[in-house]
Chain A
């Protein structure tokens, strides 16, 4: 959801937490109420619980050749990162990474385009719209493993080969599309019909009003939808498990490595994939901020 939040005008978030003024109102002791400290402690614990386990992995991935799978840390080097990409026994990391990125890009494109069209379609009520909506959201509730299993079985029954770019693509879309559409609805609700009317009055065709007005206005939201599509696909496991066919995607590769690789190169892989995720998220949020900044959104609408 952070993407959606980042989409809002900046002023909401960057407001200081009433520094001097609170003192003026309650001059007796100054300082903050005790609840502030309780809540901050709680939040700190939450953050530690959230990131602590991940940091264990990152730290252990930088051990030297003597390193094992548990603490204490033995030396420090980049040995296991090199090992990750050079040793065959650690698995097909490069190949699965390549497949995962390609798959995520395809899923992202389809998700953005279809969600956008769905968003356009749902701007007006039509017969059976509620039914269509719940049908769409239904696949979010369906257990991923079962859905993946079903997709795999269906492909088998139809005599098609399961592979990451056919059955796994379909199974992942059943996950990313409902999400994309939901986010798109939120994005669309911020598009005022009046801009479209102005475009029409100025002589725009329907396509021109979408291309020149609607898409640029909604650009930050579209980036958010794309980010959702990408990250959901990039680390999708349950639905891909039975549908990826003979070649693994990255999460499946990591999973199989946990079964047979007993060296810190597994952790090195965790570190590398996290870095990729953060680059993607950073680029998306960065572009949203850039778009907002370019529009001088600092002033009130």
Chain B
């Protein structure tokens, strides 16, 4: 219950959010007491998290705190060991058909872009719609060009990833994920591998996506982006969700000592 009341409080305080989370709706993501171990290391330690549809979450925390693991469990690229994860009401219970259904609903953008190096930008975008969704080539191409235009890179459609800058590659990666018409976008440190001058173009693209009402979970160290776009900041440490708060409250008055020291370190 506390989760829900906080959502309301959060969204009440923020302006410019188009899609107001609906309380009665099935949450986009629901995690209950999720654990993930790597050998002796506990990457996720009893994590509870609820994300409403249309909500924008920024996950932050020191390195090794489990933030990447958290969002990688949501599309089952990492398998959680214990606990329950529901994505749009579908339980991730290691059943193939549920995993496939969840992956249809989620799109992921990785730190290192992960574009297929042997395909052109266009082919990168059309591959999955054609093979996984059974679109024809022409349909897939229209769709891809639509999203490539959206990330403002349609003129590069016939180039190979190796010929693009990092920022351009990351925008293509966003377009590629969007081509699967996901309901939830997961961003795993999308700007960490970029040269500073390219960070902005990627963040702008993400902002536009947020304005369109996409449900987003972003692991990022871009606190400016968090302040501007996030409905809620999730602060993690040692595999636990230590603190959740609206950006204003989080940046001004972090409740936990750990969050305070973290913010001191990253905000100069």
Contact = CB atoms under 8 A, between A and B. Distances in A.
A associates with B: yes
Interface of A: 192, 194-195, 197-204, 208, 212-213, 216-217, 219, 291, 295-301
A203 B127 CA distance: 10
Nearest to B106: A201
A13 B164 CA distance: 22
Nearest to A297: B162
Given A192-B112, A301-B117, 20 more contacts: A194-B112, A194-B114, A200-B75, A201-B77, A202-B132, A202-B180, A203-B128, A203-B180, A204-B131, A212-B127, A213-B116, A216-B116, A216-B119, A217-B116, A295-B160, A297-B160, A298-B163, A300-B162, A301-B161, A301-B162
B107 interface: yes
A194 B110 CA distance: 8
Contacts of A296: 159-160, 162-163
Interface in B120-151: 127-128, 131-133
Counting chain B residues whose Cβ lies within 8 A of the other chain, the interface size class is 20 to 34
Contacts of B131: 203-204, 208, 212
B77 A203 contact: no
B112 A201 contact: no
Contact of A203 (B132, B160, B164, B173): B132
B112 A295 contact: no
A297 to B, nearest CB: 6
A244 to B, nearest CB: 40
A201 B108 contact: yes
27 contacts: A192-B112, A192-B114, A194-B112, A194-B114, A195-B117, A197-B110, A198-B110, A198-B116, A200-B77, A201-B77, A201-B103, A201-B106, A201-B107, A201-B108, A202-B180, A203-B131, A208-B132, A216-B116, A216-B118, A217-B117, A219-B118, A297-B162, A298-B162, A299-B162, A299-B163, A299-B164, A300-B162
A291 B108 CA distance: 28
Looking at B114, B115, B127, the one whose CB has the most chain A CB atoms below 10 A away is B114
B103 A200 contact: yes
Looking at B75, B115, B116, B180, the one whose CB has the most chain A CB atoms below 10 A away is B116
Contacts of A217: 116-118
Interface in B172-189: 173, 176-177, 180
A214 B99 CA distance: 21
A269 B49 CA distance: 75
Looking at A202, A204, A217, the one whose CB has the most chain B CB atoms below 10 A away is A202
Contacts of A297: 160, 162
B140 to A, nearest CB: 12
B195 interface: no
A221 to B, nearest CB: 12
A200 B107 CA distance: 10
Contacts of A201: 75, 77, 103, 106-108, 177
B114 A203 contact: no
Given A197-B114, A213-B116, A203 B159 contact: no
Closest A-B pairs by Cβ, 6 of them: A203-B132, A202-B128, A198-B114, A299-B163, A296-B160, A201-B108
A213 B115 CA distance: 10
A296 to B, nearest CB: 4
Contacts of B132: 202-204, 208
B152 interface: no
A219 B117 CA distance: 12
Nearest to A220: B118
Interface string B214-242: 00000000000000000000000000000
